[in-house]
Amino acid sequence: MFPILHKERLAPNINKFVIKAPLVTRNCQPGQFVIVRVHERGERIPLTIADFNREEGTITLIVQEVGKTTYQMGELKAGDALADVIGPLGHPADVKKLGTVVTIGGGVGTAIVYPETKAFKEAGNYVISIIGFRNKELVILEEEMRKYSDELYITTDDGSYGRKGFVSDQLRDLIEQGKKIDLVIAIGPAIMMKVVCDLTRPYNIKTIVSLNSLMMDGTAMCGGCRVEVGGETKFTCVDGPEFDGHLVDFDILMKRLSTYREQERLALERYLKEKEEMAHGSL
Ligand code: FAD
Ligand code: FES
């Protein structure tokens, strides 16, 4: 069992967990993830290691409630434990001194880009961060990102905080202002990563994305996470999760992400109904 030492609500439907997992912290690096089971009979879900403390043997996970398992996890509190935390999985981010690096986080993707922002800053880069959210209420990790960014831009879709618009609008402005950018790292919804890649491709700005494919085993056995990169089939779990965004077929990724949408909707509906019935004592 993996004890939860701390839990905090960062925004509606987004929780931060600090979890004791000393074997994971021994070797983990920015860009890697773990596969978690909330309960013994629960499904396995991939979550990025948003932060870690090797001395204390803890990892931080930041989790958005989107379906049955992430809602179940959201009900846990400090003192509870996760059944499994397997990792670190995937390749670490390729962190080095390049010059100017732009890190982009969309929604909960900000939690995934945060450890890389920190690592690229610590490697001596000039770091420009752009983080985008639907509205002010959903903004997370602003102070943490500011700490490791030479410039930080925040966008909201509705203009309730920061600049009104999308992260790509801010990136377009930076490019058009003639800012020399050596690398872009974009992490968020597939459509956001696709738009960023379409923007940087004509300027030949290398762009790394972290793919959020559906996963089960995380060890290249089930094939669930396969994606097309440069015309080849890759497994996000062992070949990624980071890839050259200009080579990723985002249309296939988005199609595969929606494969089980109806089943996922039904599972969440059933779970919330059972919870409500239990709360009213009818089960
Ligand atoms: P489901 O019932 O599985 O899904 C409900 C709805 O959520 C779906 O209809 C779909 O719209 C959406 N969804 C499901 N799976 C994904 C997915 N993989 N990506 C995007 N949308 C999805 N989430 C976090 O909150 N924090 C993280 O740090 C994080 N890191 C990840 C790292 C990797 C390598 C990968 C592949 C995914 C990561 N995710 C992260 C996404 C997370 O794994 C999913 O949100 C989770 O599996 C959903 O499980 P569920 O049962 O709650 O919802
Ligand atoms: Fe099964 Fe990658 S998660 S092959």
DSSP string, the chain: -EEEEEEEEEETTEEEEEEE-HHHHHH--TT-EEEEESSTTSPEEEEE--EEETTTTEEEEEEE--SHHHHHHHT--BTBEESEEEEEESPPP-----SEEEEEEETTHHHHHHHHHHHHHHTT-EEEEEEEESSGGG---HHHHHHT-SEEEEEETTSSSSEES-HHHHHHHHHHTT---SEEEEESSHHHHHHHHHHHGGGT--EEEE-----SSSSSSS-TTEEEETTEEEEHHHH-SEEEGGGB-HHHHHHHHTTTHHHHHHHHHHHHHHHHHHHTT--
User: Does any ligand 1 atom lie closer than 6 A to the CB of residue 149?
Assistant: no
Lowest mean pLDDT among 38-42, 204-208, 261-265: 261-265
Proximal ligand: closest to the CA of 213? 1
Using CA positions, which residue lies closest to atom 1 of ligand 2? Answer: 222
Distance 14 CA to ligand 2 centre (A): 25
Domain final residue, candidates 50, 73, 89: 89
> Beta strands 100-106 and 126-133: pairing type?
parallel
CB 33 less than 6 A from any atom of ligand 2: no
85 lines ligand 1 (CB under 6 A): no
Instruction: Choose one of 210, 237, 263: the last residue of a domain.
Output: 210
Kindly state whether residues 102 and 190 are assigned to the same domain.
yes
Are 160 and 244 in the same domain? no
- Closest residue (by CA) to atom 9 of ligand 1? 261
CATH for 36: 2.40.30.10
Question: Which mutation among 212, 235, 256, 259 tests ligand 2's pocket best, with the greatest number of atoms within 8 A of CB?
Answer: 235
CA within 13 Å, CB half, 143: 1
Say if residue 73 is in the same domain as residue 100: no
Q: What is the mean pLDDT of residues 136-143?
A: 95
When pLDDT is cut at 50, 70 and 90, the band that residue 283 belongs to is low
User: What is the pLDDT at residue 258?
Assistant: 79
One domain, residues 36 and 125 = no
In sequence order, what are the beta bridge partners of 58? 20, 53
Residues 44 and 76 placed together within one structural domain of the fold: yes
Q: How far is CA 170 from the centre of its chain?
A: 20
Determine the distance separating the centroid of ligand 1 and the alpha carbon of 246, expressed in angstroms: 23
pLDDT tens digits, 29-51: 999 999 999 998 888 999 999 99
| 30 pocket-lining for ligand 2 (C-beta < 6 Å) | no
72: Cβ below 6 Å to ligand 1?
Answer: no
> What CATH number has the domain bearing residue 190?
3.40.50.80
Give the number of the atom of ligand 1 that is nearest the alpha carbon of residue 212: 36
Average pLDDT over residues 71-86: 95
Q: What is the pTM of this model?
A: 0.91
46 and 152 assigned to the same domain? no
Q: How many domains does the chain have?
A: 3
Least confident of 191-195, 209-213, 259-263, 266-270: 259-263
Measured in degrees and rounded to the nearest 5, phi and psi for residue 123 equal -80, 0
Residue-number span of the structural domain to which 228 is assigned: 212-283
Residue 220 CA, closest ligand 2 atom number: 4
214 CB less than 6 Å from ligand 1? Answer: yes
Whether residue 279 is predicted with pLDDT greater than 80 in this model: the reply is no
